[in-house]
Structure 1
Amino acid sequence: MLKISLGTFRSLFMGGVALVAMGAPRLNAQAKTTLERIISSGKITIGIHNRAPWGFRGADGQATGFHPDLIRAAFAPLGVKEVEFVIADLGALIPGLLADRTEAVASGFSITPARCEQVAFGEPELAIGDAVIVQAGNPHGIHSYADIVKNPKLSIGGSRGSANLANARAAGIPASQIQQFQNTESSVSAIMAGRVQAVAFSSGSVVSLLQDPRVTGLERAMPFQGYIKPDGKPAANYSGIAFRKGDAELKAAYDKRLAELKADGGLVAIAKRYGFTADEIAPDSVKAAELCADKM
């Protein structure tokens, strides 16, 4: 049996500590941030949840949509040639990000205080406000909630308990002109059957619904003025890409590229490609930090 004297043990122990201490800077120097790793590999992994127009599998099997195109445009100048999109259920996207299975989530997430407790959002890209679907040609000339208020023969529908119908009520539409339906499908069926003259959803939902080949004879009312809050600001949610809180460099690099795409028109071009409008680009005055603090 090998025996080690106390003095020898102390010498070996202190020597080991010294070696570890000397080696620590070298190990730290070799560690890469997420951004450095992405740039060196030329690859980034993004979580999406297969929903048009945000991010979905196209007819060719490849990921397409507003956010996949935005990610490609934002990171290509940084040398990222490969973008891997991981499709997951909506509720699994943030857990997957926090478990390091992806490096960002780009799937139409609204920036909310609750989500900000878990992740760091990039600056907002789109303002997602109220939108309405009307019959093709917009025969009743509906371009605002006020147009419905002015004509008691018109009625508007939507999903029961939705924020959009709450906005319609806040804008002055009386209960007698509002019909609530069980879900999105029954709301769309109602306007297709002529039981209501408009249905209210978020603009992202309207874009998605009108891409469904089964939805015919309908269009988005353009332009449309949604509910304006007492502070003079439109009622809207703001979409953003989610990063891990520890990846500040990656978020900063994305925010810089987003600002450039806003300035050169690249973001507008991507938005229009998927049914959004230039008016839905989030203004520079709206900041993720304020949305996280619920100050907007």
Structure 2
Amino acid sequence: MLKISLGTFRSLFMGGVTIVAMGATTLNAQAKTTLERIISSGKITIGIHNRAPWGFRGVDGQATGFHPDLIRAAFAPLGVKEVEFVIADLGALIPGLLADRADAVASGFSITPARCEQVAFGEPELAIGDAVIVQAGNPHGIHSYADIVKNPKLSIGGSRGSANLANAKAAGIPASQIQQFQNTESSVSAIMAGRVQAVAFSSGSVVSLLQDPRVTGLERAMPFQGYIKPDGKPAANYSGIAFRKGDAELKAAYDKRLAELRADGGLVAIAKRYGFTADEIASDSVKAAELCADKM
């Protein structure tokens, strides 16, 4: 895993892509809107948390993953050829965006009402259920959030502020059995060390994590039943690109291109590239505004 000191890391220029620390110079130019600046410069800067399959630094130094590739596909027709990226912990991405250190967060954010209070989300692209990592052999027989509720000796972890832990709480797991960690790495380290008995992520993240040769002694709990909503439907996490609320023009341009990619098959092609299926493409009837209002 790439380790970056956000306080001291300045700028690396690799393969034509610039990696900029979250503490670098702000991006907004007063004379132009964000979209105008992006188009005129041919460059967009995205925030990522360096985690496959969502957004990470590839071996070639490029921003890689489902959301970076989606950003490329969306803005390439507008003449945007260069993607800069900033790396930060998941919880630091929105503060970095609001401080004008990135133009968008493109790293697997779930659209939640709490996040919607701070940022404007593009329309959702994926609808993904929760998945849970347990110790090899699943010694505690964890196949649902209800199994953790039933056993007060069990605890579950995950990234601070994640939709997955919100679902775990909604399913009835008390706060005393939930541990929030700063990022994915610390969550995985906790279960490998036995400090928690399960960690919750999206299904895509779990598949990617378990392919890492450094992650040993763990497996995906199969089958697993996540949170069932009051209407009887399983909860899904809808992913979206996050923009500043003041960048309505930029968000509108992205949403227009997303609709085109949905129609021409480009969206599903990008999704399959990173292990998602066509069934996990969000319906175009599901809107970010409804998710922000918690109406889904």
C-alpha contact 2:26 2:100 (8 A) present in aligned 1: no
Deviation of the 1:27 alpha carbon: 20
Q: Assess, with a 3 A threshold, how the Cα gap between structure 1 residues 11 and 69 changes in structure 2: closer, same or farther.
A: closer
Q: Assess, with a 3 A threshold, how the Cα gap between structure 1 residues 129 and 78 changes in structure 2: closer, same or farther.
A: same
Deviation of the 1:223 alpha carbon: 9.1
C-alpha separation in 2, matches of 1:274 and 1:183: 21
- Counterpart secondary structure, 1:60: coil
The alignment's TM-score, normalised by the length of structure 1, stands at: 0.67
Deviation per CA, 1:225-263: give whole Å up to 9, x if none: 755433143212211111111111110110111111122
Q: Assess, with a 3 A threshold, how the Cα gap between structure 1 residues 15 and 54 changes in structure 2: closer, same or farther.
A: closer
Deviation of the 1:39 alpha carbon: 1.2
C-alpha separation in 1, matches of 2:179 and 2:24: 66
C-alpha contact 2:20 2:84 (8 A) present in aligned 1: no
Residues 178-187 or 252-261, more deviating: 178-187
C-alpha separation in 2, matches of 1:198 and 1:4: 27
Deviation of the 1:214 alpha carbon: 3.4
Give the structure with the larger helix fraction. Answer: 1
Percent identity for Structure 1 against Structure 2 = 97
- Counterpart secondary structure, 1:186: helix
C-alpha contact 2:125 2:240 (8 A) present in aligned 1: yes
C-alpha contact 2:116 2:292 (8 A) present in aligned 1: yes
C-alpha separation in 2, matches of 1:188 and 1:23: 27
C-alpha contact 1:207 1:276 (8 A) present in aligned 2: no
Q: For 1:1-296, list aligned pairs within 5 A.
A: 31-131=31-131, 201-215=201-215, 226-296=226-296
Q: Assess, with a 3 A threshold, how the Cα gap between structure 1 residues 28 and 175 changes in structure 2: closer, same or farther.
A: closer
C-alpha contact 2:122 2:242 (8 A) present in aligned 1: yes
Q: Assess, with a 3 A threshold, how the Cα gap between structure 1 residues 281 and 143 changes in structure 2: closer, same or farther.
A: farther
C-alpha contact 1:74 1:254 (8 A) present in aligned 2: yes
- Counterpart secondary structure, 1:219: strand
C-alpha separation in 2, matches of 1:5 and 1:49: 13
C-alpha contact 1:131 1:203 (8 A) present in aligned 2: yes
C-alpha contact 2:192 2:217 (8 A) present in aligned 1: yes
C-alpha contact 1:96 1:102 (8 A) present in aligned 2: yes
- Mind listing any 5+ residue stretches in structure 1 that lack a counterpart? none
Q: Assess, with a 3 A threshold, how the Cα gap between structure 1 residues 2 and 46 changes in structure 2: closer, same or farther.
A: closer
- Counterpart secondary structure, 1:143: coil
Deviation of the 1:60 alpha carbon: 2.1
